[in-house]
Amino acid sequence: MIEPGTSAPDFRLADHDGNAVTLADFGGRRLVLAFYPLDFSAVCSDQLSIYQEVLGEIEDRDAALVGVSVDSSACHAAFRERLGLTYPLLADFHPKGAVCAAYGAYMDDWGHANRSLVLIDRDGTVAWSFATPTPLEIPGANLIFDALDDGAPA
């Protein structure tokens, strides 16, 4: 997993609408990257729904949230609609998992990302990171709040 103090790797990924999104698009705001395995699995659905429930609290702490997985933009669009998500989902589709790997979240043996969270501060430095021991565990929203409140400059 990427270490705090590291310069956040730049990325250019398509969102759920096929629009290019880069790290620079979030300049001036803290950014939480929520890496997750795959759209439409039960555990991923629960994880991203939890984050949707607390999205306002994340934004109140002057942070943006995006989900990142190896699924395609079209798959993300359908998944967002099914769950009623309002935050962006980014497709690390081709080359598969390259951004996940750059952040230390890609699991070669599984072919997808582990459930991992990365907080990037306003200057593009990784302020905090967390990876679950297994992709079957959900990193709770409390971890995000602890990082935003205590683990990184506001």
Residue of 2, 21, 31, 44 marked catalytic: 44
25-76: per-residue pLDDT in tens? Answer: 998 899 999 999 999 999 999 999 999 999 999 999 999 999 999 999 999 9
The two tokens of residue 38 are 């795959």
Identify the pLDDT of residue 140: 94
- Please give the CATH number for the structural domain made up of 12-151: 3.40.30.10
DSSP 8-state secondary structure symbol assigned to residue 11: -
Query: Over 60: is that where the pLDDT of 153 sits?
Result: no
Q: How far apart are CA 27 and CA 32, in angstroms?
A: 13
Domain limits of the chain? 12-151
| 44 carries an active-site annotation | yes
What global pTM score does this model have?
A: 0.95
Mean pLDDT, to the nearest integer, of 81-95?
98
Q: How far apart are CA 136 and CA 43, in angstroms?
A: 7
The two tokens of residue 102 are 């750059």
Identify the pLDDT of residue 28: 84
